[in-house]
Chains A and B, each alone.
Chain A
Amino acid sequence: MSWQDWIILIGTLTIIILYGLHKSNIRKNLDSYFLCDRSLPWWVILISIMGTQASAVTFLSAPGQAFTDGMRFVQYYFGLPIAMVVLCISFVPAFHRLKIYTAYEFLEQRFDLKTRTLTSFLFLLQRGLSTGISISAPSIILSSLLGWDIFWTNIFMGGLLIVYTVTGGARAVASTQQIQFIIIFIGMMLAGYTVMHLLPGQIGFSEALHIGGKAGKLNVITTGFTKKGFDWNDRYNLISGTIGGFFLALSYFGTDQSQVGRYLTASSEKESKLGLLMNGIIKIPMQFLILLIGVLVYVFYQFHPEPIFFNQTQIHILEKSKYADSLVLLRNQYQRNETERIGAMNGISGSDKSSLNYQRALEHLRITEQNKDQQRGTIKRWLQDKEIGGDANDTNYIFLRFVVDYLPKGLIGLLIAVIFLAAWGSIGAALNSLAAATIVDFHIRFTKKTLSSKKEYDLSRWYTLLWGIFCVIVAQLAYNIGNSLIEAVNVLGSLFYGVILGIFLVAFYAKKIRGRSVFISAIITELGVVLIHILSQRGLIHLSFLWLNAVGAAGVWVLSWLIQMIVPAKAK
């Protein structure tokens, strides 16, 4: 990175920390620390819930996803607007009416203490681990691309924000998320504009879309049906995106304290609802635009040499392995093929479609594309060799590799700042919510003596700090797992979210169900979900992890009714 990039990166991060500290002047009680005195307007709620959901991985992974698999990933969000509506009808009014700090307090009022404690514990377990992984995942990518030390990258990624999150609580998190959102928006727009600017002169936006479309990258809508019927293992299609995505969004926004804690800071029920509904309107187009940047990067690489593998760290591993000599030969072949491929691509875009030259260039392009796929496939095969133990998936490195290699000085620093800020927005909210659940659902609930407001406030700050340290330690330990971490965040969420959602759905919509029934069914279903996941991992059943949310929620619902029918009979 150039000194201009360093100045922009350090300057941006410093501004955010100072602004967070500036906004840390709050009253010393739980209402202020966790709920901003219930005073925020809907547009702050909107930015806050979007900033909490969009982690660093969102901006690293989504363009790479579009590059490799096309834009169909956007369907993953189709269930989100429906979930926002359900939340506004059932969840938000109940949470506001009861004036609660955490979503799990509601469960004690509806069921009993053990159900509240179990659900809050599942949240702490899942959110604590996944926040650690959220720190580690972008750190691994940045350290790999820029040669930074992973230990210190983790410290900066997960440690610096602790300063203002501890001192200012929810208000500092919400305030910094506003600035972060503006910088992220400007950064991504500039990235999109620069990609277009770097395309050859004859390629306009429409032509770029045609090139992306012909390569199958604009597959925004897919049904998931094959000749053999519906593919249950396919994650991103209209059906799994709408149904699976609905359950995922409902559980995430309705039962995860990191999100519930954001809209509980609203000045009224109306402001909470507006923030959530606006999220339902804006989220999909925003994700569409981020994915579109990935397609434009793909088009860019049609006219420029593409790296044989985007994750250079893995290439360095091969350079020191038994494949070192073969790698030298393969790289030479690849470079020659890339020169020919780009020549053919230029030949196509510069000639008349009916001409002989066009037909020749088209055929030549087809052959060189096949060669490229084979050569990249060889690298992946070598990395998958058990002796090598490498990571054959370079999707998350594509966008940042492009940024580092081709964007102008200054913009590189800004986009790396975007990665940091996106991470801080979601990690800050997570730490705040972890501290809220710890103090409210455990410490205060199980302490017999009454604590003063000041004592509760001090303890909350300590818990925020301790959770921050815990998450950074998890990030440091998680380094050895490698790039599969990003998938691990989603899988971990799906293992717990469904069951937690099931408990809340029973609470809201099955008034006859009592605490003991839902508690037993939650434990049985959680074990069942973990078992299904293990069977799926071993290839004994084929079910995408996205469906685990629906399975968990449905399992709790059905079992609760069954147990409820048995329990009263025994009681009689």
Chain B
Amino acid sequence: MENSGDEKAPLFKSWTYWYILVLAILVLLIGLFYLFTKKYA
């Protein structure tokens, strides 16, 4: 998943961790929204 960009990713070792973070937050949000929907349905 790495690319030819010559700059290192900030905070993490590589951009792959950034991509995982973004997708993990998406999954977390969907999970929280699911619980939110269940609670107030």
Binding site for B on A (CB under 8 A): 74, 78, 81-82, 84-85, 88-90, 92-93, 96-97, 209-210, 212-214, 216, 218-221, 238, 268-270, 273-274, 277, 280-281, 284-285, 288
Contacts and interface: CB of A to CB of B under 8 A. Distances in A.
A280 B9 contact: no
B19 A85 contact: yes
A89 B1 contact: yes
Given A210-B40, A270-B7, A284-B26, 7 more contacts: A88-B15, A89-B3, A90-B3, A213-B41, A218-B36, A218-B37, A273-B5
Interface string B1-30: 101111111100001001101110110011
A93 to B, nearest CB: 4
B26 A213 contact: no
Given A97-B4, A212-B40, A273-B15, A85 B33 contact: no
A221 B19 contact: no
Contact of A285 (B6, B29, B39): B29
Contacts, number: 78
Contacts of B19: 85, 88-89, 277
Contact of B40 (A96, A218, A285): A218
Contact of B22 (A84, A219, A238): A84
A238 B30 contact: yes
A85 B18 CA distance: 9
Interface centre among B7, B21, B33, B36 (most CB of A within 10 A): B33
Contacts of B4: 93, 97
Contact of A85 (B10, B23, B39, B41): B23
The B interface, classified by DSSP as helix, strand, loop or mixed, is: helix
A568 B4 CA distance: 32
Contacts of A219: 37, 41
Contacts of B7: 268-270
A81 B22 contact: yes
A220 B23 contact: no
9 contacts: A78-B30, A82-B26, A88-B3, A88-B19, A213-B40, A220-B36, A273-B5, A281-B22, A288-B33
A273 B39 CA distance: 36
The A interface, classified by DSSP as helix, strand, loop or mixed, is: helix
Contacts of A277: 18-19, 22
A44 to B, nearest CB: 16
A221 B33 contact: yes
A89 B15 CA distance: 9
A483 to B, nearest CB: 29
Contact of A81 (B10, B23, B36): B23
A81 B3 CA distance: 18
Nearest to B39: A213
B5 to A, nearest CB: 5
Contacts of A216: 41
A149 to B, nearest CB: 43
Contacts of A281: 21-22, 25
A284 B22 CA distance: 12
A82 B23 contact: yes
Contacts of A269: 5-7
Contacts of A78: 26, 30
B1 to A, nearest CB: 6
A284 B34 contact: no
A268 B8 CA distance: 11
B30 to A, nearest CB: 7
A88 B9 CA distance: 12
Contacts of A212: 40
Contact of A284 (B5, B23, B29, B37): B29
Contact of B5 (A82, A93, A218): A93
